[in-house]
Amino acid sequence: MANNYLSSSFVLEMTTEDAEMVKLAQDASVILQYYAGDTPRDTDYKKLGPRFAAVFPHKGGEDFGSFLELFDDPTFPTFDCDIKIAQPNDEGRCLVSFSGNQFGVDQVANLIFTACKSALPCAFSWAHTCDALRPDEFGGGCVIITDAGIDFHSTTGIMSRVLGTGPGTSETPKPVFNPALVSIEQKRFSVTQWEILVSYNGQRIEQYGDKIELIDRDWQGYPDTFWMAVAYREAIDRNLATRLPVVEEAAITKHLTSPH
């Protein structure tokens, strides 16, 4: 038995206003993790103030709707890291540190891009390690964050490109992801039991369980925009296609955390 770690530690400089947004985001995360349902959630939302509401407005009938879009799993809204904010300097800027051994790379990157514009452009690296010397258990990557969006790079992707085995480097380069090649097929077993078969360019990706909810007196699963985002993520991970430009990629992948 072995333990795996996804670790990172870095410091960003930003304005005191953006640092305050990071603190408010931490507070919101705690509120949502420990929310017991015995008080209206809009009360807690209002306590975070107008600046939080301006950056993370109501969405989809949910007070914290846009805030929950930061997370791959909106039912577990944690940044998976320790965040510390230093006192501001004479120029009104703060050093904010992010560190952890099970680091939430995606959600931290989303937070920085959404709430810390004064820190952009910036980047941070992460490492995937194991306390046993098992083959292929070590790697890492980096995240580049600019005003245009978030760009993720991994060591496996870098090695593939250098060796000529990754997408876009073989004798038959993989084309850029094409949404028209995505197939989303619903398998409906009962009113509340559905599965979705996702394919790309005729190749089966996976058959996923759907999350069924009663909305406006109608049973609904995740929309096609969600499954398109899943198809994009998996097509890239499986080297079936190359990535879209950052802005176009962000327009698709944002639906991973906003299923309704």
pLDDT means over runs of 10, the chain (260 residues): 86 97 96 68 87 92 91 88 96 96 93 96 92 84 90 80 57 79 80 78 83 70 88 88 86 71
Nearest to 104 by CA among 129, 83, 122, 130: 83
* Same domain (yes/no): 225, 150: no
200 and 106, same structural domain?
no
Structural domain boundaries enclosing 154: 4-163
Q: Spell out the long-range contacts of 207-216 with Cβ–Cβ below 8 A and sequence spacing 24 or more.
A: 210/186, 211/259, 213/260, 215/260
Residues 156 and 248 reside in one and the same domain: no
The answer as to whether 170 is a domain residue is no
In this structure, the answer to whether residues 131 and 12 fall within a common structural domain is yes
Q: Which of 94, 92, 147 is nearest to 120 (CA)?
A: 147
Q: Domain for residue 169, yes or no? A: no
The answer as to whether 113 is a domain residue is: yes
Total domains in the fold of the chain: 2
User: What's the whole-model pTM score?
Assistant: 0.64
**Does any domain span residue 168?**
no
Q: Are residues 55 and 30 in the same domain?
A: yes
Are 36 and 144 part of one and the same domain?
A: yes
Boundary residue ending a domain (136, 163, 190): 163
